[in-house]
Amino acid sequence: MRTIEWREDGVYIIDQTKLPHELSIIKCMDYERIARAIENMEIRGAPAIGVAAAMGIALAAKSSLGKSIEDIRENLERAAMRLAKTRPTAKNLFWALERLRKIWINEEEGIIEKIIKEALSIAEEDVISCRKIGEYGSQLIEDGDVIMTYCNAGGLACVELGTALGVIKMAFRLGKRITVFVPETRPLLQGARLTAFELKHEGIPFKLITDNMVGYVMQKGMINKVIVGADRITRYGDIFNKIGTYTLALIANAHNIPFYVAAPISTIDLETSTENVIIEERDPKEVLYIKGVRIAPEGIDVMNPAFDMTPARLISAIITDVGIFKPPYDFASLR
Amino acid sequence: MRTIEWREDGVYIIDQTKLPHELSIIKCMDYERIARAIENMEIRGAPAIGVAAAMGIALAAKSSLGKSIEDIRENLERAAMRLAKTRPTAKNLFWALERLRKIWINEEEGIIEKIIKEALSIAEEDVISCRKIGEYGSQLIEDGDVIMTYCNAGGLACVELGTALGVIKMAFRLGKRITVFVPETRPLLQGARLTAFELKHEGIPFKLITDNMVGYVMQKGMINKVIVGADRITRYGDIFNKIGTYTLALIANAHNIPFYVAAPISTIDLETSTENVIIEERDPKEVLYIKGVRIAPEGIDVMNPAFDMTPARLISAIITDVGIFKPPYDFASLR
């Protein structure tokens, strides 16, 4: 199945906290359950949480059937406020909510049907976006490449296929012989759990490493390209992505290894300046416990920022669903 | 107690695989148990495994009481061969074995007593070395410094006090207000488990982070010094240390943060060129399982190099027990 699916009786999502050991499906009956799924990272990845938020609004719309237009708008606004509070960094979440808000603000009739239709469009467009990113990006991949990716920018971070991992899958499906290096991506191990799961399923050869091996493998000349996803891209091409991406980009640059970012244009934020993007600080328990086992002494201080910022100067190209952008970046033309 | 102690009835070591949750002591009755303790990393850290190897030889000597001199030499040689095979990268192990070998090769009388005495000297000298490193190194630390260390180069990596962490402790004891950042150090989490344990015990404020947060905290200007230990230092100042050290050094350099290495001169290898140092590749299970819990799918490829090489050009100073060395490094004068 897809990472997230709209069905007659609810929204079905793959529980990503249970992978790779268990393929467990969560049925969400209301926007509150969707909001909690985003917060708990049962669903994660910038495009996927955009789609999840849209489907959360669609569930709120459906539950408003038979209500007055004022009540419908109030319900949808309340759902949007709740969903907007789940996670602050990924742009796609806010982009999806804004896109749907235009409908309930501007339309007077058939709002519920229009909202549901638009939410489903957002999901379908994500599928098409990933394919386009894969088509554009795979042109950058050569036969024999050894590519490092990071965290999970795969089908599980989207509706299907993926962004950075979509590029890799597409190149592989086109017959290019590729090997992938997968840093495990602490604290929640999306590399070890999710990217490894997807690559294994796809039959693409890969090696798992810990995050602190990045310098070693690049120094040894084992990697010739890096490709990662993004949670937010600012106007001039600074990117926010999983904590550790900045470290990866610096190390890649020190070894003259091309560093690519792959994301749909719904990830681009033309309004917020880089300094003003909020980096989510998550529960210290994510660092202190690995699958319920405590790894450090009691009573200590922990930091747990979920993202970091990679400046545009470290990025060789940004692969989007409307084409490949090269530096100097200015996305204002996309407005 | 000390990390390792010679007592009448055996060699006592703190089991570092059980920390920080349990302070468990292992009693080693023969060199084979010492060898296994080094392999399993029940004892680890370059100076500590040097001392452990010496005490392993001392146990072999003790068990040779009453034997002919030929048998004593054969026993000791066999023990040395076994101990030399435990771990390939740390210089101190081979340095300790060579130092003792000189006795059983050159001496004709009282070999057993001389070996035991020399092994105990190696342990006592390590204590003094750490104090000297701490005294020299603490001169580089200023009031208010926020220092990143890495892995565990503390008392647990030596007999007591530590090298990199010894510098930090000494500066703190001298009244300098210091905060320490501790990357957890995957796969075996020596930062989260051991360095956190020591800093907490010492009352030094610190923050635990995951290894991939290094770039983030340096970019944010949170760190103004880095100090790490070393497992081997080559003649011109390239250092081998826990995997991830090279990444740390590159990131520190990109942010103009001084990067210091602290180690006794027994860590310096004047013979082996940097390219010829063997980097130990450890069991993939160390990456795949965290405290017995599997974190990745079955049937996948894993790399697990235990060390990496940081070139001299990234190192601001090397703090030893005979003084602080600045670049360009050439340790030939120590011969």
Q: What would the pLDDT profile of A12-51 be if each residue is shown by its tens digit?
A: 999 999 999 999 999 999 999 999 999 999 999 999 999 9
Terminal alpha carbon distance of chain A: 34
pLDDT(A223) > 90? yes
- Distances from the Cα of B185 to the Cαs of A113, A186, B17, B214, in angstroms? 52, 11, 14, 11
The low-confidence residues of chain B, meaning pLDDT below 70, are: none
- Distances from the Cα of B140 to the Cαs of A56, A159, A192, B108, in angstroms? 56, 53, 39, 47
pLDDT-above-70 percentage for chain A: 100
Give the pLDDT of residue A44: 98
Query: What pLDDT band is residue A251 in, cutting at 50, 70 and 90?
Result: very high
Chain B CB contacts of A219 under 8 Å are 246, 308-309
Question: Are the beta carbons of B295 and A209 separated by less than 8 Å?
Answer: no
Give the pLDDT of residue A335: 79
Residue B296 carries which side chain, given as an amino acid letter? A
Mean pLDDT within A159-181? 98
Question: Are the beta carbons of B250 and A246 separated by less than 8 Å?
Answer: no
The partner residue sitting opposite B296, judged by closest CB among A192, A244, A299, is A192
Chain A residue at shortest CA distance from B216: A308
Give the pLDDT of residue A132: 98
Q: What's the CA gap between B282 and B288, in Å, rounded?
A: 12
Q: What's the CA gap between A59 and A229, in Å, rounded?
A: 28
Chain A CB contacts of B244 under 8 Å are 210-213, 215-216
Give the pLDDT of residue B335: 79
DSSP state of A176: -
Residue A301, min C-alpha distance to chain B (Å): 5
Give the pLDDT of residue B140: 98
SS3 category, A74: helix
Q: What's the CA gap between B167 and B161, in Å, rounded?
A: 9
Question: Are the beta carbons of A291 and B290 separated by less than 8 Å?
Answer: yes
Nearest to B147 by CA among B172, B175, B173: B172
Question: Are the beta carbons of A213 and B303 separated by less than 8 Å?
Answer: yes
Beta-ladder partners of A324: A319
Question: Are the beta carbons of B246 and A219 separated by less than 8 Å?
Answer: yes
> For chain A, which domains are there?
4-130 (1.20.120.420), 135-334 (3.40.50.10470)
Give the pLDDT of residue A291: 85
Per the CB < 8 A criterion, the answer to whether B93 and B72 are in contact is no
ipTM: 0.96
Residue B227, min C-alpha distance to chain A (Å): 17
The partner residue sitting opposite A208, judged by closest CB among B196, B213, B287, is B287
Q: What would the pLDDT profile of A59-103 be if each residue is shown by its tens digit?
A: 999 999 999 999 999 999 999 999 999 999 999 999 999 999 999
Nearest to A56 by CA among A95, A74, A29: A29
Give the pLDDT of residue B1: 84
Residue B139, min C-alpha distance to chain A (Å): 27
Give the pLDDT of residue A42: 98
- Distances from the Cα of B249 to the Cαs of A58, A245, A247, B167, B240, in angstroms? 49, 17, 11, 18, 12
Question: Are the beta carbons of A207 and B291 separated by less than 8 Å?
Answer: no
Per the CB < 8 A criterion, the answer to whether A290 and A227 are in contact is no
Indicate which of A17, A199, A202, A213 best probes the interface with B, i.e. most B CBs within 10 Å of its own CB: A213
Pick the catalytic residue from A126, A145, A211, A231.
Answer: A231
Chain B CB contacts of A292 under 8 Å are 293
Per the CB < 8 A criterion, the answer to whether A159 and A130 are in contact is yes
Query: What pLDDT band is residue A327 in, cutting at 50, 70 and 90?
Result: very high
pLDDT(A1) > 90? no
SS3 category, B182: strand
Hey, how many other C-beta atoms are within 10 angstroms of the C-beta on B54? 31
Buried b (16+ CB within 10 A) or exposed e, A204-222: bebbbbbbbbbbbbbbeeb
Q: Please indicate whether residue A231 is annotated as part of the active site.
A: yes
pLDDT-above-90 percentage for chain A: 98
Query: What values do phi and psi take at B13, rounded to 5?
Result: -130, 150
Mean pLDDT within A127-156? 98
The partner residue sitting opposite B295, judged by closest CB among A193, A301, A309, is A193
Q: What would the pLDDT profile of A275-311 be if each residue is shown by its tens digit?
A: 999 999 999 999 999 988 999 999 999 999 999 999 9
The partner residue sitting opposite B211, judged by closest CB among A189, A211, A250, is A211
Rg (chain A; Cα; Å): 20
Per the CB < 8 A criterion, the answer to whether A282 and A306 are in contact is yes
Question: Are the beta carbons of A296 and B184 separated by less than 8 Å?
Answer: yes
Q: What's the CA gap between B168 and B179, in Å, rounded?
A: 9
The partner residue sitting opposite B295, judged by closest CB among A189, A214, A246, is A189
